[in-house]
Amino acid sequence: MTVIFYLCKFCLYTVLTTIVISSYAKASPIRNFEPAFEYDQASVRTEGDKVIASTGLVERQWVWGGEGLVTVGLKDLRTGKEWSPAIDLMVKSDWEYKGYLTGGQLKALKAFKSNDEGFADPHIELQAEVEYRKVSILYSVWIFPGAEGFRTSLKIKKNGDWHSKEALDYDTTPSSKNYSVEAESKVLTGRVEHIPIVTQDFQFRAIGYYNHTQGRNRADTPLLREKIVERGNVGWASILSLETPDGGIIIVKESHKCVNQTGVNTGIFVIGEKLVSSTGWGILPRDLNEKYQGYWANWLIIHQAKNQVERQLAIKKFDRTRYPIDPDRDVYIMANTWGSGETKNWSQKAAREENVIEEILSQKDLGIDVQQIDDGWQGPRSSGDHWKPVPILDFGELNSRKRSLDGESQVLNNEKISMYPNGWGYVREFAQKNDIKLGLWCFNQIPLEDLIWNWENGGFKYYKVDFINAHNFSRLDGLMEKFRFFIKSTNHQVRVNWDVTEHPPRIGYYFGREYGNIYLENRKTKSPAQVVYIPWLVQRDAWQLCKYTNINKFQISVQNGDRCNPEVSDAYLHPHDYLFAQTMMGSPIFFQETHYYSDEARDALRPIIDIYKDVRHEIYKGYVFAIGDEPDNRSWSGFQNYNPDTKSGFITLFRQIDNKQAKRGIGLHFLEGQSIQFQDLVSEKIWDEAITSDGTVHFVIPESAGFLFLKYSIH
């Protein structure tokens, strides 16, 4: 009876879908276009009144709905499973721009190979151009061969010169202080992604990350928010996961939305009985002109995951497809001159040529790859030529200007110190001689010509971009256009590290990583107290971050524990190799002047850095997952790196300083019931282990504030 029931249900679904598609197709212009394109496993074709895109693993189908393309099919080609659409004839397009999309005509439908000007791996791009009375829309679908999903985005332009009252009525995006779904709905421009699907059998999980890490360095300020939600509107999340025991659908907003920061018209998720949609165009009517503009994109992932870790892997795999790792540019250990200073003046002095030379020698000794020169090299911002290295840094002028801008009372310091009397030449030559790459800090509003000048004269490979306040479309668009052009002008030789430490809208966690990494948080030695380096909190941030991102695109900080304020932090009680090991699954950054390390500290760091560098390219090929308990300074906690192609990987496991257990069972992912060979990369011990059916392995760490660095493979 069960088989007959499902056969009848399938036949009824097929008949109803055919009727609905036929209704849409009465005036379908798709028949006038014949895009057919194949690249590797991926393909695009028209079939009657439908447009069909396939990655080789999953398929999506659209028909013309009268005002745009409407999704009518989602299929997993590996199993043949159809995610049954609940098609509504009232929906005339997958997208909507409030009050502007009437009289739509499909003007172009084409497919071609693209790599987004070198910022993405090769893929097929499907483009549909639709002209309306007042605006035109360019709908884009990226179809990556072998991917489990699609990336969709929309751009919009004005048709002719017009001015509307609506363009003036829109308020600015609501501030995070007054954030609510109701507040954001006032500036919504409409749908950007639409999935017609019956949702009664799904569980809904919303996921997002907090910004403002500068103010989130306490036990009660987690980085991650994750919640099972009901139908309705979800305004704080970057990810919406629709889950069943046999798979599901995940939508990711490629935007700078954070849990506590809406940003530029990033929209909401809407969950209804027969639809799921994502809103937020990133551009308001007042920003429109005669060229195509717009953010944000959405990822639609169709997967077979049966548990939460497998869902995490589905997100990470698409994230890696969207933001691939380039071993020559993305795999490095960095040191930055800023984080050791007790005052701003101290930290700016650390950017001077004399100190950078000392740091280059220190980093060569330790095995660090990149020396990044932070704020101070450019002098006070009141200088007319401050985006070139200044010969002299005048702290009297600097402090006077700081006081006038902020109204803060500061002790006037009239000290003048030598910075770069002969420009970048000596530092550049010295770094090359010692096989150290250079990086540079810059203010986000640095002019493009100064970016190019410093690259040409200093040879900098990595740029830390700070003080972003992308609170409106023009700010955001200008920022991204400038750095995109800059990277292209260097023939993709440079990378940008986006600073996300403060509260104004910056880059977020799922946007802009084709240009480089995310600089996650300032963690200093002495002051201010709210950003002092606390080892277990750094580990907790990384542990939460790695759940739904690829953590090796995020810079994780290590400090000199001997110099950290003992009234705030217990870092001084931790071995130096332990503190570095916390960063190895991410992109390690010594946020400090490393020449302050003692001889004993250096002796502890060199071996673990060498071991890490021997295997880091293998680590970067895998995906990182949280294991053990959430870090709280009393737990066994860590990270498991897993490569699905080789079924092998790496483990960093930490017995935190207040933990009393020398032995602990830890659940590992993807290895249940397997016979595994482990290698301790520090002690070089090798042993075999039969993994239990629930994935548990018992490990021994004799001392608290101790760690294991293991490699594993199926035996």
Tens of pLDDT along 97-142?
A: 988 999 999 999 999 999 999 999 999 999 999 999 999 999 999 9
With cut-offs at 50, 70 and 90, classify the pLDDT of residue 25. low
Task: Write the CA distances from 522 to 41, 214, 336, 460, 592, integer angstroms.
Answer: 43, 6, 11, 22, 10
Neighbours of 328 (CB within 10 A): 7
**Does the structure show a pLDDT above 70 at 22?**
no
Query: Residue holding tokens 């994750």?
Result: 226
- Per-residue confidence (pLDDT) for residue 623, from 0 to 100: 98
- Per-residue confidence (pLDDT) for residue 32, from 0 to 100: 86
Give the ranges where 333-394 is alpha helix by DSSP (H). 344-349, 353-366
Q: Phi/psi at 691 (nearest 5 deg)?
A: -80, 135
pLDDT digits (tens, 9 = 90+) for 578-637: 999 999 999 999 999 999 999 999 999 999 999 999 999 999 999 999 999 999 999 999
Measured CA to CA, the distance from residue 361 to residue 512 in angstroms comes to: 33
With cut-offs at 50, 70 and 90, classify the pLDDT of residue 385. low
**Does the structure show a pLDDT above 70 at 352?**
yes
Task: Write the CA distances from 255 to 215, 223, 288, 511, integer angstroms.
Answer: 22, 17, 19, 5
Determine contact, residues 569/333, Cβ cutoff 8 Å: no
Mean pLDDT, residues 73-78 = 96
**Does the structure show a pLDDT above 60 at 206?**
yes
With cut-offs at 50, 70 and 90, classify the pLDDT of residue 386. confident
Query: What CATH class has 636-714?
Result: mainly beta
Burial of residue 131 (number of CB atoms within 10 Å: 0-12, 13-18, 19+):
middle
**Does the structure show a pLDDT above 70 at 411?**
no
Question: Which residue type sits at 527?
Answer: S
**Does the structure show a pLDDT above 70 at 382?**
no
- Average pLDDT over all residues of the chain: 90
The dihedral built from the CA positions of residue 66, 124, 75 and 77, taken in this order, carries a sign that is positive
Distance between terminal CA atoms of the chain?
A: 45
Q: What's the half-sphere exposure (Cβ side, CA atoms, 13 Å) at 235? A: 19
With cut-offs at 50, 70 and 90, classify the pLDDT of residue 393. confident
How is residue 581 annotated by DSSP? H
With cut-offs at 50, 70 and 90, classify the pLDDT of residue 27. low
- Per-residue confidence (pLDDT) for residue 21, from 0 to 100: 54
Q: Phi/psi at 129 (nearest 5 deg)?
A: -110, 125
Closest CA to 261 of 507, 544, 523, 522: 507
Q: How many degrees, rounded to 5, is the angle at CA 461 between CA 455 and CA 465?
A: 85
Determine contact, residues 282/264, Cβ cutoff 8 Å: yes
With cut-offs at 50, 70 and 90, classify the pLDDT of residue 7. very low
Determine contact, residues 624/552, Cβ cutoff 8 Å: yes
Q: Phi/psi at 541 (nearest 5 deg)?
A: -60, -45
Determine contact, residues 242/204, Cβ cutoff 8 Å: yes
Q: Phi/psi at 117 (nearest 5 deg)?
A: 60, 35
Mean pLDDT, residues 352-377 = 97
Instruction: Kindly state the tokens that stand for 221.
Output: 């300020």
Q: How many degrees, rounded to 5, is the angle at CA 301 between CA 297 and CA 302?
A: 150
With cut-offs at 50, 70 and 90, classify the pLDDT of residue 165. low
Beta bridge partners of 131: 105, 136
Q: How many degrees, rounded to 5, is the angle at CA 674 between CA 671 and CA 677?
A: 90
pLDDT digits (tens, 9 = 90+) for 471-487: 999 999 999 999 999 99
User: Where are the chain's structural domains?
Assistant: 2-322, 636-714
**Does the structure show a pLDDT above 80 at 562?**
yes
- Per-residue confidence (pLDDT) for residue 98, from 0 to 100: 87
- Per-residue confidence (pLDDT) for residue 413, from 0 to 100: 55
Beta bridge partners of 228: 205
Measured CA to CA, the distance from residue 193 to residue 254 in angstroms comes to: 12
Beta strands in 93-217 (DSSP E): 105-114, 123-131, 135-143, 149-158, 191-195, 203-209
Q: How many degrees, rounded to 5, is the angle at CA 687 between CA 686 and CA 689?
A: 150
Question: Which residue type sits at 224?
Answer: L
Task: Write the CA distances from 191 to 24, 154, 417, 512, integer angstroms.
Answer: 20, 10, 56, 22
Measured CA to CA, the distance from residue 402 to residue 524 in angstroms comes to: 21
Residues contacting residue 462 through CB under 8 Å, at least 6 positions apart: 332, 334, 370, 372, 437, 438, 439, 440, 494, 495, 496, 497, 516
With cut-offs at 50, 70 and 90, classify the pLDDT of residue 694. very high
**Does the structure show a pLDDT above 50 at 412?**
no
Give the ranges where 407-517 is alpha helix by DSSP (H). 425-433, 448-458, 473-489
Q: Which of 132-146, 175-189, 456-470 has the lowest mean pLDDT?
A: 175-189
Domain 2-322 has CATH 1.10.8: no
**Does the structure show a pLDDT above 60 at 384?**
no
Measured CA to CA, the distance from residue 190 to residue 182 in angstroms comes to: 14
**Does the structure show a pLDDT above 70 at 341?**
yes
Measured CA to CA, the distance from residue 626 to residue 610 in angstroms comes to: 24
Beta strands in 199-314 (DSSP E): 203-209, 224-229, 232-234, 239-244, 247-254, 269-271, 276-279, 297-303
**Does the structure show a pLDDT above 70 at 193?**
yes
Residue percentage of the chain with pLDDT more than 90: 83
Mean pLDDT, residues 210-223 = 96
Phi-psi label, residue 133: left if phi above 0, alpha if psi -120 to 50, beta otherwise: alpha
